[in-house]
Amino acid sequence: MTGLTAISLFTGAGGLDFGFEAAGFRTAVALEIDKRCCATLRHNRSWPLIDRDVTTVPTKELLAVAELGVGEADVLIGGPPCQPFSKSGFWATGDAKRLDDPRATTLEAYLRVLAEAQPRAFLLENVEGPGFKGKDEGLKLIHSRLLAINEAHGTRYRATIATLNAADYGVPQLRKRIFV
């Protein structure tokens, strides 16, 4: 295999992957649980696709399907489901559950794959909620897990956080997202 490689988690219909593809990356493996998204991906791309829950997929399987070894992927990309950190959860109940939401296990799964696959870099995207002052447990978890991953594996991951608005990049909607 040649070129830059991406391992994609929570691929959805492929938005992050298409951007990385435009930048010269090849999606070596995509993982998505939603059957309609998987059908869309299969229709539009021939990426190797695992259509299961990330919490049930061992990193060894991801790497085997991607035909990559530990440390060979250039980047791990993904946007874990945002419901635990979304403002809509706050509006519905008066507070978002954040890390107490059972769906927040997907953030842990992303970090597990990062630790076990050890790509050269990573990009994690989510709603801006994890960056809100006083509600930033998600970002604190990421920082602490990166320190633990670095200590355990000799990697040098560090998080740079940016909140971006899609409207600033030509998308005709106000859509703020946090990028790690």
47 phi/psi in degrees, rounded to 5: -65, 145
Length, in residues, of the chain: 180
The yes-or-no answer on residue 82 being catalytic is yes
Output b/e per residue, 22-59; b: 16+ Cβ within 10 A: eeebbbbbbbbbeeebbebbeeebebebbbeebeebeb
Tell me, rounded to whole angstroms, the distance of Cα 98 from its chain centroid: 16
Tell me the average pLDDT of the chain: 86
Q: For residues 130 and 18, is the Cβ–Cβ distance under 8 A?
A: no
Give pLDDT, residue 171: 87
pLDDT tens for each residue of 59-88: 999 999 999 999 999 999 998 875 555 544
- The one catalytic residue in 82, 96, 139, 142 is 82
Tokens of 62: 């991801």
Q: Which of 102, 144, 143, 110 minimizes the C-alpha distance to 126?
A: 110
| Residues 90, 38: Cα–Cα separation, whole Å | 30
pLDDT tens for each residue of 13-57: 999 999 999 999 999 999 999 999 999 999 999 999 999 999 999
3-state percent breakdown (helix, strand, coil) of the chain, nearest 5:
45, 20, 35
Q: Is 26 helix (H, G, I), strand (E, B) or coil?
A: strand
Give pLDDT, residue 92: 47
Q: Which of 161, 157, 144 minimizes the C-alpha distance to 117?
A: 157
Q: Which of 91, 168, 179 minimizes the C-alpha distance to 131?
A: 179
